[in-house]
Amino acid sequence: MKPLVVGWASALAVAALAAIGTSGARAAGADPDWAVCSGDDDAKAVTACTQILQRRHLSAADRAEALVDRCVSYDNLKNYDSATTDCNTAIKLKPDYATAFSNRGNAYDDKGDYDRAIADYDQAIKLKPDYAAAFFNRGVAYDDKGHYDRAIADYDQAIGLDQTKSGYYFGRGLAYLHKGNRLHAASDYATAQTLSPDKQDRWNQGRRRKAKEALEALLAASSPDPQSPLTASHPQASLRRVALLVANAKYINIRSLDSPPRDIAAVEAALVKLGFDVTVKLDLDQRGLKEAFRDFESNIRANPPDWALVYFSGHGTETPNGPFMLPTDVLVPKDMELTSEANIEEDAVGVKNVVLRLQAAKQLHLVIYDACRDNPVVSAFNRMLERQKGASDAANRSTGVGFGHDVVFYATSSGTYSWDGSPGDVSPFAKSFVSELSVSGLDLEQLFERVKEDVRKETSPHLAVPQIPDERGFPVADKFYFNPPTRTAQ
C-alpha cells in the first residue's frame, strides 16, 4: 500500500505556506516582483525572489518573507538543499517565524529526512498552536514514516482548525487507506471532492483535483463501471433511477447542523456514479420543502422511472403519526403542549406523505431518513417526545409504509441519538451508506444490514447507546441492487 504516497507529499506540502503580515511595496501591491515571487511559476518565482533579495534597503521582515517564498519554490523544483538554506536564513532573521519552520520541514520531508521534518513542524506548532497547515504537514511526515495513527491525529487537528482545505481530507483519507480502513478513506475522499477551490490560494485547486482523482480511483478499484459489459449484463443495470437529495442545515429557530451538506454531496457523487439522475436541494424552508416534493412527484408521474429515491439529511422529529422532516424555518411554539403536535405536523413533511408521492415509480419507492439526531426543539417539546418514545414502534407501524416495494431506511432507531460525527466529517450513517454503495452484488437488505453494523461499530465508542439504523418495508418479494452484481466473463 505504501507506494500510493510516493511523490504526493511534495505536491501537497506547499499547502503549508500560510499568509503572514506584509509590508512596504508588497502590501501596497505596487511591486510586481512580489507577485511573481509568490506566484505559480516556480522558476520565475526563484528569479523574482532573488531580485528582491538583492535589494539593499529591504527590511528584515520582507527579506525573511522573500526567503520563505523562494524556499517553497526551490522545494517544488526538488532543489531541497537550496530550500533548506533559504529557510535557515529566514529563521535567523526571524526566530519566531512559524512559516519558515514549517516550510523547512517540507523540504526535509521531501528529502526523506522525516525526523528532522517532524522536529520543524513541532517547533512551528509551538510558535503558532492554531497553525493548521503545520499539523497537516506533520501528518504527511508521520504517514511517510508509516505511523498512520499519529498521522490521522494530526490531520484531525488540521481539519478541526480549518475545514475548507480539501488537501487535509485527502491526506487523512490516504492515512486511513494505508491502515486498511476503506470506509473512512472513502468518506474523506468524498468530502474533499465537495470543497470549492479558493481562487486566492494557488495550491487549493490542485489539492481539490487530486482529491477528486483519488476518490474516483478508490471507487473504481472496488466497483465496476456501471456501463461496462459485465455490469450491464445484469437486468437491473439498465433501470432508470431518479433521486431527490435534500440537505437542511441552516435552521433559523433551532440549532443549525454541520454535516448535511457534506453528507448529501457524498451521496450525490456515489449515486451519480451508479447512473442515478440526481436532484439536490439545500436549506429548504417550509414552502421550499413541500414544493420540492411536489415537483419531484410531478416529474415522476410525467415520466415514471423504475426507482424513485428521496434522501433527507437534517433535523427531524416524530409524533404518533410517524417521523417528520423539519424545514429550516420550522416554528417552535411557546406553549409546547401535546396540541402543538398539530403545529409541527403542519410545518413539517411526514415520511408517509413522501412515500405516497413516489408511487408512480414502477419498482421501488425508497426514502432514506438521515434525521432524528438530537431533537432540536426546546425542552418542553423534548418532554413531549419522551412521552411518545414508549409507543415508538407503534408510531413507525402507523406510517403506512412497508408494503410491496415501499421501503424506508432510518439513520437511527426510533427514540435514540444519532451522531453527526467529528467536526468537518461526513456523518457515520452517510459515510457507511456511500461506502457500501461501491460494493457490487449487495441487494437492498444486505446493504442495509452492512450499514447497520458499520454505524453501530463507529458510534459505540462515542455514544452511551450505540446508533443502530432501522428500516421499514422488508422483506420485499424482489431483490433490488444499487450496484448490480457482476458476471464472470465466459
pLDDT tens column, 324-372: 899 999 876 554 443 345 567 778 999 999 999 999 998 899 999 998 6
Q: Is the per-residue pLDDT at 132 higher than 70?
A: yes
What pLDDT was estimated at residue 166?
A: 80
Structure confidence at residue 110 as a pLDDT band (50, 70, 90): confident
Residues 6+ apart with CB under 8 A from 206: 11
The grid cell for 80 is: 531541497
What pLDDT was estimated at residue 422?
A: 78
As a whole number, mean pLDDT of residues 268-279 equals: 90
Q: Is the per-residue pLDDT at 22 higher than 50?
A: no
pTM of the model: 0.54
As a whole number, mean pLDDT of residues 117-126 equals: 95
**Share of residues in the chain with pLDDT > 90 (%):** 37
Give whichever of 172-181, 268-277, 364-373, 419-428 has the largest mean pLDDT. 268-277
Amino acid found at 489 = A
What pLDDT was estimated at residue 83?
A: 92
As a whole number, mean pLDDT of residues 457-466 equals: 85
Taking the CA of residue 244 as centre, how many other CA atoms within 13 Å lie in the half-sphere pointing to its CB? 28
What pLDDT was estimated at residue 310?
A: 97
pLDDT tens column, 65-76: 999 999 988 988
pLDDT tens column, 231-257: 444 555 568 899 999 999 999 988 888
What pLDDT was estimated at residue 6?
A: 33
Give whichever of 155-169, 193-207, 274-288 has the largest mean pLDDT. 274-288
> Cis ω on the peptide bond leading into residue 475 (within 30° of 0)?
yes
Going along the chain from its start, the domains and CATH numbers come out as 2-221 (1.25.40.10), 230-472 (3.40.50.1460)
Backbone angles phi, psi at 329, to 5 degrees: -105, 25
What pLDDT was estimated at residue 18?
A: 34
Say what angle helices 166-179 and 182-194 make with each other, to 10 degrees. Answer: 170
What pLDDT was estimated at residue 64?
A: 93
Choose between 51 and 337: higher pLDDT: 51
What pLDDT was estimated at residue 41?
A: 87
- 309 close to 268: Cβ distance less than 8 angstroms: no
Q: Is the per-residue pLDDT at 476 higher than 90?
A: no
What pLDDT was estimated at residue 52?
A: 92
What pLDDT was estimated at residue 9?
A: 43
The grid cell for 315 is: 433535523
pLDDT tens column, 137-161: 899 888 888 888 899 899 989 988 9
As a whole number, mean pLDDT of residues 395-410 equals: 57
**Share of residues in the chain with pLDDT > 70 (%):** 73
pLDDT tens column, 290-309: 999 999 999 999 999 999 99
What value does the mean pLDDT of the chain take? Answer: 77
Q: How far is CA 202 from the centre of its chain?
A: 22
What pLDDT was estimated at residue 31?
A: 78
Distance CA 312, CA 294 (A): 15
- 5 close to 143: Cβ distance less than 8 angstroms: yes
Choose between 28 and 159: higher pLDDT: 159
Rg of the chain, C-alpha, whole Å:
26
What pLDDT was estimated at residue 466?
A: 85
Structure confidence at residue 287 as a pLDDT band (50, 70, 90): very high
